[in-house]
Amino acid sequence: MRNLKKVIALIAVFAMMVSTVAFAATFGDVKEGDNYYEAIETLNKLGILTGDDENNDGVMEYRPNDSITRAEITVIVARIQGQTGAVAQADTVFTDVPSTYWASGYIASATNQGIINGYGDGTFGPDDKVLYEDVIKMLMETLGYKPYAQNNGGYPTGYILAAQRQSVLKNVVGGAEGTEATRGQVAQMTYNAIDTPLMERYVYGGEAQYVIWDGESWSPRKTLMNQALGINKLKGVVTENEVTALDAAVQIDTDATQQIKLYVEDNYLGSNDTNSDYEVDSVYPFYTGDTNAADYLGYDVVLYAQDNKNETDTILSITEATGKNSKVEFTLDKFNSYDADTNNLSYMKNDTDKSATKLKLQTTSNRVNYSDSPAIIYNGIAYSGTLESLFGSYEGDESGLIYKDSAYSGKVTVLDNDDTSGYDVIFVDVAVGAVVDELSSRGVLTFKNSVGDRNHMNSVSKVEFDSSNTDMYINLTKDGKPYDYTALKAWDVLSIVANNGDAQSDYYDIKVLDNTNTAITGSVSRTSSSDTSADGTAYTISGVDYDLAEGYYNNGTLKAGSEGTFYIDEYGKIVAYNKDSNSKTSDNYGYVIDAQITSSGFSDNVPSLQIIYKDGTIGTYDFQGTVTIDNPTEEIQKLVGDNSDSVSFKYKDYSVDAMTEAINTMAGTVITYNATNGYIKSITMAALNSTTDDSTLVLEKADTANVSSFDEDTKQIRVGGTKKYDVADDTLIFYIGKPGDSFVYNKPAAGEPSENCIVGQGSELRTNDNFSSAVYRNGDESGTASVIVMYNTDPGVGASTGVAYITSIGQTTVDGSKVLSITYYQDGELKEANTDDMSVGDYLDQNTVAGSLFKFGISNGTITSAVPYLTFDGTVRDKVYEGDDFTTAGIPNANYVKTTGSNSDEEVYYGAVVQKSGNRLTIAQADADGIISLDPNDWESVSLSNYTANYYLYDPTRNGKAKFQTASLGDITVDKVLANDGGNGSYTIDFGGVVEDAPAFGMLDFVYVRTYERTADVVDYTTWEYDYNFSK
């Protein structure tokens, strides 16, 4: 597709880059590209470093910025000396390390070996932090460099000098004497240390000397890696995996232990190596183990393999060799040509490029496939044809499988894996979309569409999941993870890379497209020509242009106005279209925000409409010379001199004043329109009376007096306080203006901010009242609203909205504007959403404290309103005292707790529970400062038997989502001190012998109750579990 807007958030756009093979990181807080990433990942695979699930969310964390403890460094030192297996807990000589301590076995072993010592008073201090220089000392002594260090200044100077000389401190960031060593710094030092030559006492000719076993001169190379850990480190190129070598396909056997082959470039044993299992410039097999080694075919890598003695070694870790792999990726529709004379492959970096970027291919025989042309992997298998048969031989040659302006999905990757000029390996993936029709009980998968073709060697009529067929390879994944084929169902959309040509047996790499990310429900707002679309047409959906992929499936005609579900593959092409016959919003609805007379650049005094389209995009459209207007207003009919239901509007025939009055009658209403290249061709206004035409939109009722309301229990909107209409989940909602704005039905915007206009669906609405509205319905929708306009309000926050516990608040940029990015737990799930501004209402902004509770109103995934439940002035704490200072930081801000939402029937109660009888709570309410009233006359009684109650327990002493969870009435604790006192007098509070006068804040649980018409939310805030001593 040329010159088309391609802003596709969920699709990878490939451009020229130097990169690595990307795979999922082990730890959630250590991403690829971070400091110490390679060190941490490698040591984890070698069994030396581990992390923990600190947040109880199933994601392992390493905490690279935390200071390391004495116990942790002891375990690391023990493991790099060969104790990589489980070490049983054991008794130790230290009083503060019982046998039940997690690292007691390591500490006992290290003590017995003299590696570590205690403090001399019988303690070890396992959780004490370790200084940077002490970590260096421990590692360098483990490597045998104590004599060297002592001869060069001792501790710490000599040890630091030794570490510097042997590159143990290479790539360590920010380390300094006197500072605590971080877990990230220790990971890097350990990673360097295990590959550092050992220093040992050596006796030769009766004379003792210390030798550094560096593999040079006469000495072999000895390291902790090859001596203590039994690991071989190798560098080289992966030449074969379980399905193909670089030069030919291999016989697939899924029963066999999976292997790769490596062309060895370096065995890291030095020039004096005579006993290595691996000779340089030779090829050896390796078991892949639990790694993704097969994915590195053609790449120059560094691998670590467990020495299995005389058997094939097993890979423990594999990464790309630093600085060795230059890669360029581009989608098939960016391919330009291959020039056989110059051996250049060219592609277009961007849609707007006028000239192609050239890539020089290898021309000399290489050490991997011993050919003077690149290795070619086509759809996962070594390609038996020539470069010319794949790409053609000159610009404009379409005889190859890949040609300019291809409509196929897929990509080309060229890889330079050495220091010589030219790209050595070419990967070509031609993907085809497949829509699942049926999965039989025998595991036979069939499709609704024809998948692939014989010319591209990827024709697939069916896929048989047969575990007894060991010579068939199927890699079925979703979101990069293995996927159970039995979960496949009709209308699942797949992206298949298959090879049934060069492969020695069937080969399928199948990705299940995630419908939540790749299925777009909407309509085609316009079409345009495209050279790279299967039918020559690009389709605009939600403001983005999409090509059709070759072989796409559809069950309805695609054209402007087509509505349904569009399935987008990873290359940004439509692979399937499913017409949705049950949608109630089948027309191109738009709300006219403003109408005015403008200059178009071609002529003056052109009518122009600012419209928010049903997908939320806002655009300004000029009239064509002649515009057809159906269901025109009287003012328009009067202007054109035609009283019929369909008139022609020629703006050059009318004066500015007359046109302004006429087109202003369109402002503030819902229309259907047809536009091409930004110019309106026709407009259908809503009919003002009922009609027998099912396709006509009818204005049912409008309210401008702010007396409309919505009831989420009945799912009905009441307009003007009288007429009710049903609201379906897919009823289209235009929110015109936020609270405080002054948009009005059937009036121009008059300077009101159009950016405050958004679009949503009926399923988002919550109980709300005191707003203006207009209700429209199709002629065939008896009693059900098709389109609703709600003025100067939002979706509302109601009883059915789950309470959200905020875990973090950050900033991000959306469409050039800064907004808040909020992570929160709701209904037991961790969620993330952006706001539509840097603040929402008066209570939610970047200063809101993590741990606060809100209810959010959400439209199209964006937080548009927020009602505070419990908020805080400072960090949420689990105790009322911090040192000698009394603090209210752990107490919710009472100024906010009684803030109501969009419902006039809300009541809020907040304080300490002094009585609980059945479903009735008596609450000593807090005042604006959070102080509990001691006077029983101020206490409130609320009966929860009148409501359907949602109970929540908020315990700040817990971790992760356990802080905020569903609960029951039985979890609420009565504040017996207040209850028994009955309001007689005040208190002094004894905190560990310090007696302080303190107001009564309620010493056990606060309770927060918000009631709606039929529902109540009850939050039990477990403030402080503390044994207080009270005296009058």
Task: Map 665-705 to HEC letters.
Answer: CCCCCEEEEEEECCEEEEEEECECCCCCCCCCEEEEEEEEE
Burial of residue 839 (CB within 10 Å: 0-12, 13-18, 19+) is: middle
Check residue 929 and give its pLDDT.
64
CA neighbours within 13 Å on the CB side: how many for 726? Answer: 8
DSSP assignment of 244-262: BBSSSB----TTSPPEEEE
Q: Residue 371 and residue 380: Cα distance in Å, rounded?
A: 19
Q: What is the pTM assigned to this prediction?
A: 0.56
pLDDT for position 68: 95
Query: CA-CA distance, 75 to 60, in Å (whole number)?
Result: 19
Residue-wise DSSP of 168-227: TTTT--S--TTSBPBHHHHHHHHHHHTTSBPEEEEEETTEEEEEE-BSSTTPPB-BHHHH
| Cis amide bond preceding 156, omega within 30 | yes
φ, ψ of residue 1004 to 5 degrees: the values are -115, -115
Task: Give the per-residue pLDDT at 587.
Answer: 57
C-alpha span between 849 and 837 (Å, rounded)? 18
Of the CA atoms within 13 Å of residue 1030, those in its CB half-sphere come to: 16
Pair of tokens at residue 319: 């990464």
β-pairing, 618-630 vs 679-685, is parallel
210-320 is classed in which CATH architecture?
Beta Barrel (2.40)
Widest distance between CA atoms in the chain? 120
Q: Which of 505, 439, 501 is nearest to 469 (CA)?
A: 505
Contact call for residues 41 and 388 (beta carbons, < 8 A): no
578: Cβ contacts below 8 Å, ≥ 6 apart: 491, 554, 555, 556, 564, 565, 567
Contact 436, 451 (CB under 8 A): no
pLDDT score, position 1006: 76
β-bridge pairing 231-240 and 259-266: antiparallel
Q: What are the residues whose beta carbons fall under 8 Å from the beta carbon of 120, sequence distance 6 or more?
A: none
Spatial distance between the Cα atoms of 908 and 910, rounded to a whole number of angstroms:
7
d(C-alpha 799, C-alpha 804), whole Å: 13
Query: pLDDT value at position 366?
Result: 62
Does residue 463 contact residue 475 with C-beta atoms inside 8 Å? Answer: no
**CA dist list (Å): 354 to 3, 330, 351, 357:** 11, 16, 9, 10
The reported pLDDT for the residue numbered 193 is 96
Q: Distance (Å, rounded) from C-alpha 733 to C-alpha 614?
A: 9
- Output DSSP code: residue 529: E
85-100 residues labelled b (16+ CB within 10 A) or e (exposed): eebebeebebebbeee
Q: Are 552 and 577 in contact (CB under 8 A)?
A: yes
What stretch of H or E contains 112? Answer: helix 104-112
Q: Domain map of the chain by residue range?
A: 37-204, 210-320, 589-685, 697-791, 804-870, 881-1031
What is the reported pLDDT for 901?
A: 53
Q: Tell me what pLDDT residue 481 has.
A: 86
Determine the Cα–Cα distance for residues 159 and 162; give it in Å rounded to an integer: 5
Which residue bears the tokens 């070619």? 376
Rounded distance between C-alpha atoms, residue 250 and residue 496, angstroms: 21
**Contact yes or no for 1005/1022 (Cβ under 8 A):** yes
What tokens were used for 238?
Answer: 């992966």
Residue ranges of the chain with pLDDT lower than 70? 1-24, 84, 217, 272-275, 365-371, 516-517, 556-557, 580-587, 599-603, 676-677, 689-695, 779-782, 873-905, 928-934, 975-1005, 1023-1032
DSSP state of 637: H
